[in-house]
Structure 1
Amino acid sequence: MRMSSEHQQKMERRGEGTLAIIMLALIQGFLSTGAVEVRSSMNPAVVGASVTLSLSPSTALNSGSWAVGGSLILTWTGAQQAVFPSHTGRATVDVQTGALTLTSVTVADSGLYVVQSANPQLQAGASLSVYVLISNVTLKANPTDLMEFNSSAVVTCSVSSGSSLSFLWLNSSSEVTGSDRVQITDGNSTLTIVNVTRYDQGPFRCLVINPLSNSTSAPVNFTINYGPDNMALTVNGQNTTSFSVGSNLTLLCSAQSGPEARLQWAFGGETLNTTGPLLELLSVSEKQSGSYSCLASNHRTNVNRNITTNIMIAKSPLSGSEQRAVGVGLLSLLLWVGVLSSLPDVGGSFSR
């Protein structure tokens, strides 16, 4: 079947219209992405500021409209402009350049702003982000007095003001990251440490950040009750336990404990009237040989530990030089005895 000339002409006109629409779309895309850009006087912007969105390069627009997120802000034709109720009193347009000015911006003003004009044909857009400055970062920890291996620490970070917040936890100057015992939840605003150890005392801080500002909390410290454990006992700073009669001995006891352990001394199983890390024995005698114990107790953990050492005190054997001197003396004595015994009996050789 052959197509009539009239129908063929209609198809051609329809095709030309479609081509025109495509070309117009391409031109608009070129204007929005290449030839003309929307630039913000401040981006990101702080709540309460004034922001101007202008075209670059500057373009004379006889009419047009501004919208954000698909909702119209205002329209203008010539010198006349109409502002929609959502932006009454806060939005104005430069009717010659099409520049939009927003005053007293809020977080709700964040979004994609699009300007359109039919004379000349133009469409362009840009995103604006508005943030609240961060202030008064505080930590709440409950409780702070904990038992090692039996308690969990929970710290919550909050701010008086701020938007689009990111939270970072610090232990001293090191970043705290999640692990089997460490949980960071509620958008990273809560830190939980399960089965705390003596190394979880802190100080812990919370650093809060957004694209416009940052602020750090005051530190929080935990009191971790632990021990006593890892006890040690030395005598005169040595590992030896044998000493001579007349020696002066200093016994030193230590234990890891929080709070500090109470140290009590005992000798031969009997408690001495001496407390603290040092026990001093002056000019010791043999009867002071025996077992010496250091007893450590922690009133918060109710844990008791002890460590014992056995000390031997004996008379000192002769030194090598002393032994040689004694040997020389004995030899001299023996020589004299030999000489005397070899002399003749003078008294027995005379007779009357």
Structure 2
Amino acid sequence: MEKKSEGTLAIVWMVLIQGFLASGAVEVKPSINPAVVGDSVTLSLSPSMNVKSGSWAVGESLILTWLGDQQAVFPGHSGRAAVNVLTGALALTSVRVVDSGVYVLQSSDPDLRATASIAVFEPISNVTLRANQTKLVEFNSAAVFTCSVSSGSSLSVLWMNASSELKERDRVQLTDGNATLTILNVTRHDQGPFSCRVFNPVSNGTSDGVNLTISYGPDSMALTVNGQNTTSFLVGSNLTLLCSARCHPPAQLRWAFRGQLVNATGPLLERFSVDEEQSGPYSCLAFNSHTNMNSNITAHIMIASEFVGLVTSASTYLLLCLTLVCPHRDFVKV
């Protein structure tokens, strides 16, 4: 009677174990995940046990089956897959990107089903950045960059302008899975260097930087005389007019006096021992042959003698004497 009870308990125990195994208590653990192309990966059961028969599949494709110490490998994995007929562990060699997927172990002895996912990636090599053109005109050109690799799978791309990350916004477009960067209506601040960083879970690489040459201006012109803001000078003075403009390439500079070009080019115009006849508007004219734009700035210069300065002072003094008690009436009479 006791033996019969013991046998019944053993059967119940085995059923409970099989239900426990089938319920997901058994895990499949890859030796490497993610894996690199060419790696060897082993999928082992945890906890370890004696699996006398079963099959391995990836997705809907059978890899191999075994019964006892006999195993049969299907053509798609011939020479690259083998099972440990004692533990049911699957060994894969020289894995490929297409080997990524969900691996399923099924066994009837014991009754169990277990799964594990493997991701296989190709390492990244030779990240290259190319631009459609590198010489552009501000507000009138678009820069298009293409990032490519010699090898690599499941790629993610990050774009940089110097040390700043570029993200999609009004003038910045990312297409082709972020492999192409387009900057519309480039400005003088878009000179770079631009680079792309490519990465996947097993590797990464960064391209060399690419700089843009952007023509702009002329604008923000400035004109000084003798390094000062004043424009009034005495007869006999030497004048040095200095003109500047924000421009790339540097602007071609010409000079004009009273609207007529003078025989002078470049940022400096010099006049020595000037007289009253040289009073008037002096203009600096800037031109950029790359942008086909021009700009100008004018300074109205007054050249006067000391006598004129005295008359002006006397006139001012007389005006004061009309309203105040003048201490020097003889001077005013003059």
TM range (shorter): 0.7 to 0.9
Residue from 193, 197, 200 that aligns with 1:207: 197
State which of 114, 131, 134 in structure 2 corresponds to 1:141: 131
How far off is 1:282 after superposition?
A: 4.2
Which whole-Å CA distance do the structure 2 matches of 1:64 and 1:195 have between them? 64
Counterpart residue number, 1:37: 27
Deviation at 1:26, TM superposition (A): 5.2
Q: Which residue of 2 aligns with 1:52?
A: 42
Structure 1 residues 62 and 26, CA, compared in 2 at 3 Å: closer, same or farther? closer
Distance 1:254 1:23 in 2: 91
- Answer yes or no: is 1:108 the counterpart of 2:98: yes
- Output the amino acid matched with 2:80: R
Q: 2:119: which partner in 1? A: 129
The answer on 1:119 being equivalent to 2:109 is yes
In 2, distance between residues paired with 1:160 and 1:261? 43
Q: Secondary structure at the match of 1:86?
A: helix
- Higher mean Cα deviation, 218-227 or 252-261? 218-227
From 224, 228, 231, give the equivalent of 1:241.
231
Instruction: Please give the per-residue CA displacement for 1:193-219, whole angstroms capped at 9, x wherever unaligned.
Output: 222222222221111111111111122
Which amino acid in structure 2 is aligned with residue 198 of structure 1? R
| 3-state secondary structure, aligned to 1:188 | coil
Cα offset, 1:89, TM superposition: 0.2
Residue ranges of structure 2 left out of the alignment (5+ in a row): 1-14, 314-334
Alignment of 1:170 with 2:174, yes or no, is no
Contact (CA 8 Å) 2:22, 2:111: kept in 1 or not?
no
Inter-CA distance 26–281: structure 2 relative to 1 (3 Å threshold): farther
Q: How does 1:151-166 map to 2 (within 5 A)?
A: 151-166=141-156
* Distance in 1 of aligned mates of 2:252 and 2:123: 51
Kindly provide the CA deviation profile for residues 38-65 of structure 1, in whole angstroms up to 9, marking residues without a partner as x: 1111111111111111122322222222
Q: Which of 8, 20, 25 does residue 27 from structure 1 map onto?
A: 20
Task: Provide the residue aligned with 2:68 in structure 1.
Answer: 78
After superposition, the Cα gap between the structure-2 partners of 1:315 and 1:105, relative to the gap in structure 1 and judged at 3 Å, is same
Alignment match, 1:274? 264
Partner of 2:214: 224
| SS in structure 1 of the partner of residue 144 of structure 2 | strand
Q: Which has the larger radius of gyration?
A: 1
Name 1:307's counterpart in structure 2. Answer: 297
Counterpart Cα distance in 2 of 1:196 and 1:126: 50
| Other-structure match for 1:260 | 250
2:323 alignment partner in structure 1: none
Aligned residue number for residue 294 of structure 1 = 284
Separation in structure 1 between the aligned mates of residue 27 and residue 236 of structure 2, nearest angstrom? 97
RMSD across aligned positions (CA):
2.3
**Structure 2 Cα separation of the partners of residues 96 and 282 of structure 1:** 106
Q: Distance in 2 between matches of 1:248 and 1:56?
A: 96
Change (3 A) 1:59 1:282: farther
**Whole-angstrom CA distance in 2 between matches of 1:26 and 1:101:** 27
Tell me the residue number matched to 1:11. none
Name the stretch that deviates more: 242-251 or 303-312.
242-251
Matched-pair identity in %: 67
- The residue type paired with residue 231 of structure 1 is M
TM-score (norm 1): 0.77
Contact persistence 2:140–2:186 (CA under 8 A): yes
Q: Which moved more, 1:262-271 or 1:208-217?
A: 262-271
Higher alpha-carbon deviation: 154-163 or 215-224 = 215-224
Q: Which runs of 5+ in 1 are unaligned?
A: 1-21, 321-352
Distance 2:19 2:268 in 1: 91
**Compared with structure 1, are the counterparts of its residues 227 and 60 closer, same or farther at alpha carbon in structure 2 (3 Å cutoff)?**
same
Q: Which amino acid aligns with 1:115?
A: L
How many residues end up aligned between the 2 structures? 296
User: How many Å separate the matches in 1 of 2:197 and 2:268?
Assistant: 45
CA contact (8 A) 2:52 2:68 kept: yes
**Distance in 2 between residues matched to 1:93 and 1:180, nearest whole Å:** 56
Structure 2 equivalent of residue 198 of structure 1: 188
Q: Name the CA distance, whole Å, in 2 between partners of 1:246 and 1:49.
A: 89
| Residue of structure 1 equivalent to 2:179 | 189
